């Protein structure tokens, strides 16, 4: 799809005009007095002002149809305002049979701030993300006409500057859609081997490095957690290593770690059947890391980044690990008190492996705990870190992208909850502060002086219902957050 910004009007099949609704008056964002007069007349009798369409009579028309959409400001965040506007256009246009559309912001006054390129980049982002629907298994949906061109109209900014921002934003959005496709894929399709295959194909297409370690190599590395979780499965585990390093870039890398449980039954500590189908999304952290690696390669971000993805499914069988088993990694013995706390076991191997790179920063993402969902719902992820500067930078990136994170403490007083009577540590800490005790468990595998952050994305990674430009199901949460953070590192 071609998305571009211009200050010159261009005919399109559908012309979308955005307006502000303030009190009982309507300020139309268009320079056409005829359209304003028509809408002012309509607005007195139309109750639903979120979207209204009319069709010109064919004489001198510049579009087959003109649709008015309300621009609803998000308090304190114009970028999110425009993302949602992009989604409104995608939603309104979904039922239309059209090949081209234009979004008219030709008069952006009155606004509290001067228009910025990021607004229109965000608009394109919201449009692309809002256009996505998981239709792999819906043949009729795949036969519909697809919009080929979207033109964004505004006369207050340079087209060259805005189009560069739009191009980059669209590239990142498509990488987030790639992550959403991974999360939405059913468990019988997306095995660990298939996850590795899709990561490898992405790496080949967008020119970053992908190495996949097999079970034998995993055994040679003594990755006890990944092997223990995999014991009950017929699918062999993989350990995926991704690397983006543009020429001339020096210094320590940033390490991204993603939990890659392709389906989580809970193992011997089996989950209730209700909602278990959503556990195909337990590799949301892996999807975010793979999507981020693709995104920064697409835009050639000048920063050295390595992505690590340990992957298996978690199945009950005669060979599966059991509660009470003892496993070991990095010289630390672990009592497996609950086999459904498997994510932290495979993440430990990746955190230990990351040490060989002597990284500047380590960030792990995982759909780790229901406790974090209880605490924060699906509107934010929990972030736990041993470095205030890193935690703050992730918070800023989260607000910029509206993939928000909220800090949770890692006080030493939580550590006794994961003390084991028979091993160095156990993998669960009881009923209270479950998200935090999971973070304390992971912290044991990170050097004390190593800046590290753990992001529990269990809430926002898989949505029970649509949320603006994110449809029900896999959200790809974390891709735009990490890209925004990495942009600051690149600078």
Judge whether 344 counts as a catalytic residue.
yes
CB 263, CB 187: distance < 8 Å: yes
Indicate the DSSP class of residue 277.
G
How many Å apart are CA 7 and CA 66, to the nearest integer?
A: 19
CA distance readout (Å), 126 to 4, 170, 401, 480: 14, 9, 11, 12
Cβ neighbours, 10 Å, residue 106: 19
CB 13, CB 64: distance < 8 Å: yes
- Active-site hit among 84, 180, 344, 404: 344
How many Å apart are CA 144 and CA 138, to the nearest integer?
A: 11
**Residue of 490, 478, 83 whose CA lies nearest to 291:** 478
How many Å apart are CA 325 and CA 303, to the nearest integer?
A: 41
How many Å is the maximal CA-CA distance in the chain? 84
CB 82, CB 88: distance < 8 Å: no
Indicate the DSSP class of residue 388.
H
How many Å apart are CA 461 and CA 379, to the nearest integer?
A: 10
Indicate the DSSP class of residue 470.
B
- Quote the radius of gyration of the chain (alpha carbons, Å): 24
How many Å apart are CA 171 and CA 299, to the nearest integer?
A: 7
Left (φ > 0), alpha (ψ -120 to 50) or beta: where does 278 sit?
A: alpha
Judge whether 491 counts as a catalytic residue.
no
Q: H-helix or E-strand containing 15? A: strand 14-22
**Residue of 179, 175, 173 whose CA lies nearest to 150:** 173
CB 189, CB 28: distance < 8 Å: no
- Active-site hit among 21, 198, 219, 271: 271
Which residues make beta-bridge pairs with 383?
407, 455
- Extract the tokens encoding 380: 């934010």
Q: What residues act catalytically?
A: 271, 344
């Amino acid at each position: 799809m071609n998305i571009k910004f211009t200050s010159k009007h261009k005919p399109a099949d559908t012309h979308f005009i955005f307006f502000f609704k303030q009190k009982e008056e309507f300020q139309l964002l268009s320079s056409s007095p005829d359209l304003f007069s028509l809408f002012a007349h309509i607005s007195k009798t139309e109750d639903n002002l979120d979207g209204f369409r009319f069709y010109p009579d064919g004489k001198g028309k510049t579009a087959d149809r003109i649709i008015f959409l309300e621009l609803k400001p998000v308090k304190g965040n114009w970028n999110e305002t425009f993302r949602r506007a992009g989604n409104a256009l995608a939603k309104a246009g979904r039922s239309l049979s059209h090949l081209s559309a234009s979004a008219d912001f030709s008069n952006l006054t009155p606004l509290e701030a001067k228009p910025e390129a990021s607004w229109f980049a965000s608009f394109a982002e919201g449009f692309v993300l809002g256009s996505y629907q998981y239709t792999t298994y819906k043949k009729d949906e795949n036969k519909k006409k697809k919009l080929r061109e979207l033109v964004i109209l505004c006369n207050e900014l340079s087209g060259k500057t805005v189009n560069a921002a739009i191009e980059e934003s669209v590239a990142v959005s498509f990488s987030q859609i790639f992550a959403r496709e991974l999360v939405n894929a059913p468990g019988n399709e997306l095995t660990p081997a298939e996850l590795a295959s899709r990561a490898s194909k992405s790496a080949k297409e967008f020119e970053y490095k992908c190495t996949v370690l097999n079970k034998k190599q995993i055994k040679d590395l003594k990755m006890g957690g990944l092997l223990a979780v995999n014991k009950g499965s017929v699918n062999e585990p993989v350990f995926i290593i991704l690397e983006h390093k543009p020429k001339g870039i020096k210094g320590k890398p940033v390490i991204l770690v993603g939990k890659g449980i392709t389906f989580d039954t809970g193992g011997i500590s089996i989950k209730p059947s209700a909602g278990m189908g959503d556990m195909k999304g337990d590799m949301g952290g892996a999807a975010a890391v793979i999507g981020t690696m693709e995104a920064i390669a697409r835009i050639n971000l000048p920063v050295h980044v390595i992505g690590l993805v340990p992957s298996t499914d978690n199945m009950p069988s005669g060979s599966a690990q059991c509660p009470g088993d003892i496993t070991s990694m990095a010289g630390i013995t672990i009592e497996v008190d609950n086999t459904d706390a498997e994510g932290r076991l495979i993440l430990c191997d990746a955190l230990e492996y990351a040490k060989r790179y002597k990284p500047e920063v380590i960030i792990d993402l995982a759909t780790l705990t229901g406790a974090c969902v209880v605490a924060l719902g699906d509107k934010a992820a929990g972030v736990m870190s041993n470095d205030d500067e890193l935690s703050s930078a992730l918070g800023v990136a989260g607000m910029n992208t509206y993939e928000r994170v909220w800090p949770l403490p890692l006080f030493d007083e939580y550590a006794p909850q994961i003390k084991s009577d028979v091993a160095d540590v156990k993998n669960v800490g009881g009923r209270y502060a479950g998200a935090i005790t999971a973070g304390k468990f992971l912290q044991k595998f990170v050097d004390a002086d190593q800046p590290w952050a753990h992001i529990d994305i269990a809430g926002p990674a898989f949505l029970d219902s649509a949320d603006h430009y994110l449809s029900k199901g896999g959200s790809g949460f974390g891709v735009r957050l990490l890209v925004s953070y990495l942009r600051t590192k690149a600078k």
